[in-house]
Amino acid sequence: MTDVLLETRGPLGLVTLNRPKALNALDLGMIRALAPALEDWAARPEVRAVVVRGAGGRAFCAGGDVRAVASAVAQDTREPGGEPFARAFFREEYALNQRIHHFPKPYVSLVDGICMGGGLGLSRHGSHRVVTERLVLAMPETGIGLFPDVGGGWFLPRFPGESGTYLGLTGERASAADAVWLGYATAHVPHERLDALGEALGAADWSQGTAHDVATRVIDGFATAPGASALRARAAEIDRCFAGGRVEEILAALEAEGTPWAEATRATLGRMCPTSLKVTLRQLRLGRALPYDAMKDVEFRLSQHCTARPDFREGIRAVLVDKDQKPRWSPSTLAEVSDADVDACFAPVSL
């Protein structure tokens, strides 16, 4: 079975992520199939837009195949040319995200079901993000010893207020209504209407205005209101509690808030990798002022340093392999993570 299906249907380049048993998690083979297809479609004038969807009905894309990366790190697996697998994976994944970010034509993601981590990299950088009522959106990397990558350092700080800080540190899941409020989603379309939307994009008259305007007009014809955002309703609390420049300040603000939500959020942060929390907060604060292309380079450095740390393999073990949900972080507390430890994760890497 091919893990990514690539078709040209009339004016559309159609991508179907086709690893349903793995919730369409993105592996290196899929990345290497997608990149040249996008390059080809960008150059072909008869292809007016690209549509990306997930197979299986449960997920758009549950993220990058970090389990494979952890295994490769443990075994020092290398590509035929000698490049470490973990370096090749993140370098090529981030290059794919960058290609999407700068794609010259409408890039329409039909985000139905689970979309986490690398799934945001495949969708957020495109021009149109259509979500359904079944969306489960999250950046859960601090729970596996990583950081919100695939451009998270750029797009999370651009969500309203401190909502991106909250989502990036806690890994909290967002709904379709939340996604629209955040600005991740450009439209909400009911699940049962997605196939019809795809057909309408294929049948559209692409001569009537710019391609971007045509895609927007077709999608708007299917869009419905997503309902109320729970995240938006809690925005004032999030902004009060997550404005600090240090993780310890955020925890203190949550303690002072004293509500059940604040206590639950403190408990969630207490389960996350301490080093990942400090690295992520610095990444998000740095990303406020950096353009996407510069943040991509920062995140590549982070990817290489963080995957080399024991916390990454331990997080994968606890969450994805043994599934005991009891990672043993090292260091185990925020107090033990020094500024120098965080600095080291941002240090340049040799290419």
Full set of structural domains in the chain with CATH = 4-345 (3.90.226.10)
User: Biggest alpha carbon distance in the chain?
Assistant: 61
The rounded distance, in Å, linking the Cα atoms of 286 and 306 is 17
Burial of 290 (0-12, 13-18, 19+ CB in 10 A): middle
- Is 118 annotated in the active site? yes
The rounded distance, in Å, linking the Cα atoms of 207 and 188 is 25
pLDDT of 303-325, one tens digit each?
Answer: 999 999 999 999 999 999 999 99
Look at residue 350 and tell me whether its pLDDT is greater than 80: no
- Tell me the pLDDT band of 57, cut-offs 50, 70 and 90: very high
Q: How many angstroms from the chain centroid is the CA of residue 259?
A: 29
Look at residue 72 and tell me whether its pLDDT is greater than 70: yes
What pTM was estimated for this model as a whole? 0.97
User: Phi/psi at 236 (nearest 5 deg)?
Assistant: -65, -40
The single residue of 65, 149, 237, 314 carrying the catalytic annotation is 149
* 342 contacts: CB under 8 Å, gap ≥ 6: 275, 278, 279, 282
The single residue of 13, 113, 117, 118 carrying the catalytic annotation is 118
* Contact criterion met (CB below 8 Å) for 157 and 164: yes
The single residue of 54, 63, 64, 153 carrying the catalytic annotation is 64
* Contact criterion met (CB below 8 Å) for 151 and 118: no
The single residue of 27, 93, 141, 314 carrying the catalytic annotation is 141
Look at residue 338 and tell me whether its pLDDT is greater than 90: yes
What's the rounded mean pLDDT across residues 84-108?
98
The percent of residues above 90 in pLDDT, for the chain, comes to 99
What's the rounded mean pLDDT across residues 24-50?
98
Question: Pairing between strand 12-17 and 187-188?
Answer: unpaired
Look at residue 351 and tell me whether its pLDDT is greater than 80: no
The rounded distance, in Å, linking the Cα atoms of 155 and 319 is 25
What's the rounded mean pLDDT across residues 270-290?
98
What's the rounded mean pLDDT across residues 90-101?
98
Q: To the nearest whole number, what is the mean pLDDT of the chain?
A: 97
What's the rounded mean pLDDT across residues 237-242?
98
The rounded distance, in Å, linking the Cα atoms of 232 and 214 is 30
What's the rounded mean pLDDT across residues 199-211?
96
Look at residue 1 and tell me whether its pLDDT is greater than 80: no
